[in-house]
Structure 1
Amino acid sequence: MDGPPIVSPLSGTRCTWYEYKIEEKVREYDGKGHFRSRWRLVKEHISEEIFLLADDSAECVIDPDEATVITRGKRVWHNHAIAPPRRYTERTILEGEPVYALGLFKTVASVEDNTIRKQVSLKLREWKNDQNQLLQRYDTDRDGEISAKEWQKAQSDATLAVKRDIGHRAKMKQLSMLRVSPHKSQPYILSTVPEHKLVSRYQRRAVLAMIGFMSLGAMLVWAINQRLVM
């Protein structure tokens, strides 16, 4: 896409998406005569820049805001030369890396009604600037004024012209966008893990969750039986 390249601030890696986290190691007194170490978050950031996903047949602009991003690219490194020591974690989607994307897909022609209304309003304003042309085109009874019925015809023609223009631009360049859905039940996933592996991963999690649920249920039944026996 046009515009400056996307670069991860930690490593300077050119990419299409990044997430980083900076932590520092601190020692804390637990109040029981002991000290313990932990990593405390200093800074984290997730890129929100849009990027282009393309194949041989089409292009799609990806808006990663609010997406669940699953990557194979993850780096963790430390800096012990400073005090306190720091740990850096970085995840990236690299340029040219295959991406599986699932979300709300919209084409250029699929614009909101309020956008069409704004463009129609601008079109009518443009026509009003040339009163002679407006009267010649819509003053059907030739009384020198535009009646309510005649103005309604002008509005209808302006709406049709706007929709034709949108359709023409969509045909010239099939630019589409993928973004988060307003319906929270619909997932929005960007993954560099192949689709079949991603499906297998979620299936394993579902099976483990079911096993855990069944185990918990069995324990509850056993506990209830023990109380009844007592």
Structure 2
Amino acid sequence: MLLDLAPLETEEKLIFILICILGALASIWFVFSRMARYRLIADTPTAKIRSAPQGYVELIGHVIAGEDGLLNAPLSGRACVWYDYKVEELDEEGERKRWRHVRSGRSNHWFQINDGTDTCLIDPEGAEVSAQHKHSWRGRSAFPGGHNLDPHTAAAFLSSQIGDGQYRFTERLIFEHEKLYALGHFHTVGGGRDQLDMNATVRDLLRLWKRDKEQLVKRFDTNGDGKISAEEWHAARQAAEQEALHQQQSLHQLPSMNVLTDPQTSRMPYLLSTLDEADLIKRYRWMTLGCLVAAALFFWLFLEILLA
């Protein structure tokens, strides 16, 4: 044994054994999780947006702002298409110091990428985002003044805020025109592809009309008795069928749009990254190795404690 664990009490040994078991299990889980992501990125071929199949695909393109235009990062005020931020406060209790979470937030605004063949909308909700641009600085106020700055002076603001302070700010950003790697569920909507369930649409329309009984009677009561007869209900149903048909025709007239979203399954992670694909592969490879070393370390500590 390399460690002298004889002074440990039985209860302390049991606690450390439990910690080692939980740590080893968590590390092993991360080994397989990071390895799966590494294999997916390395083995999934890059598709072109114009000819991409419907389903789980890998895309690489340049970022374009969404319909809402560019966003302003909440802390620095920098123009971007996506942000993630965190504010922490230094909590000093005697000699102990720790950073306490104050607030955080993340953008769910859609943006776009273009790979030279076509454009695809990106829904960032649920994605694991690896942003190349990450900034941390400290200040004396929980609300930095950067959100009121002109975007062109934001860099100067960041450099002026670096130093000591009770609050720590962290911000991750994706900028327009950056190269983006994306792995997620690709599907095309509009362009005549969407088909309504006509029967369900008719039922929903009739249910909606029945809620406003006064309007229903006013519209379909042809004999003026204040009630809807079987024949009048049949006319209402025909009107609902015509309305459903009109909705279907309106869908056919919509232009086609390519969309990338979260597959919502653990076997198919949703990844967005401004890192180069080769750098992303290298990162997950090192993560896998690190988790493997951590699992081995926990197992070694477990044996040391068990045999002490």
Specify the TM-score bucket, using the shorter chain as the normaliser. 0.5 to 0.7
What is the distance in 1 between the residues matched to 2:128 and 2:198? 29
TM-score, normalised to structure 2's length?
Answer: 0.50
1:197 aligns to 2:279 (yes or no): yes
What is the distance in 1 between the residues matched to 2:113 and 2:274? 12
Q: Pick from 71, 78, 86 the counterpart of residue 138 of structure 2.
A: 78
1:20 aligns to 2:85 (yes or no): yes
- How far residue 221 of structure 1 moved from its aligned partner, in angstroms, is 7.1
- How far residue 189 of structure 1 moved from its aligned partner, in angstroms, is 0.8
Q: Does the CA contact (< 8 Å) of 1:26 and 1:39 recur in 2?
A: yes
Larger displacement relative to structure 2 (105-114 or 40-49) = 105-114
Between structures 1 and 2, the one with greater strand share: 1
- The amino acid of 1:16's aligned partner reads V
What does the per-residue CA deviation read over 1:61-117, in whole Å, with 9 as the maximum and x for residues that have no partner? 111111111011011111147897211111100111111111111111464765995
1:101 aligns to 2:182 (yes or no): yes
Matches within 5 A, 1:27-106: 27-29=92-94, 35-80=95-140, 85-106=166-187
- The amino acid of 1:17's aligned partner reads W
What is the distance in 2 between the residues matched to 1:16 and 1:119? 40
Instruction: Pick closer, same or farther for the CA change 1:13–1:114 going to 2, 3 Å.
Output: farther
Between Structure 1 and Structure 2, how many residues are aligned? 194
What is the distance in 1 between the residues matched to 2:125 and 2:295? 33
What is the distance in 1 between the residues matched to 2:96 and 2:80? 37
Instruction: Pick closer, same or farther for the CA change 1:62–1:212 going to 2, 3 Å.
Output: same
- 1:182 maps to what in 2? 264
What is the distance in 2 between the residues matched to 1:116 and 1:192? 45
Higher relative contact order (CA 8 A, sep 6+): 2
Between structures 1 and 2, the one with greater helix share: 2
- How far residue 166 of structure 1 moved from its aligned partner, in angstroms, is 4.8
Matches within 5 A, 1:200-215: 200-214=282-296
What is the distance in 2 between the residues matched to 1:115 and 1:103? 30
Which 4+ stretches in 1 moved above 6 angstroms? 81-84, 119-122, 218-224
CA RMSD, aligned part only?
4.1
- The amino acid of 1:67's aligned partner reads A
Larger displacement relative to structure 2 (209-218 or 16-25) = 209-218
Secondary structure class of the residue paired with 2:279: helix
- How far residue 25 of structure 1 moved from its aligned partner, in angstroms, is 1.5
Gaps of 5+ in 2: 1-65, 143-163, 206-230, 232-236
Q: Does the CA contact (< 8 Å) of 1:23 and 1:87 recur in 2?
A: yes
- How far residue 48 of structure 1 moved from its aligned partner, in angstroms, is 0.9
Gaps of 5+ in 1: 30-34, 123-144, 146-150
Q: Percent identity?
A: 30
TM-score, normalised to structure 1's length?
Answer: 0.65
What does the per-residue CA deviation read over 1:11-44, in whole Å, with 9 as the maximum and x for residues that have no partner? 1111110011111212114xxxxx3222211111
What is the distance in 1 between the residues matched to 2:114 and 2:202? 29
What is the distance in 2 between the residues matched to 1:116 and 1:5? 42
- How far residue 190 of structure 1 moved from its aligned partner, in angstroms, is 0.7
Instruction: Pick closer, same or farther for the CA change 1:208–1:13 going to 2, 3 Å.
Output: same
Secondary structure class of the residue paired with 2:68: coil
Instruction: Pick closer, same or farther for the CA change 1:77–1:61 going to 2, 3 Å.
Output: same
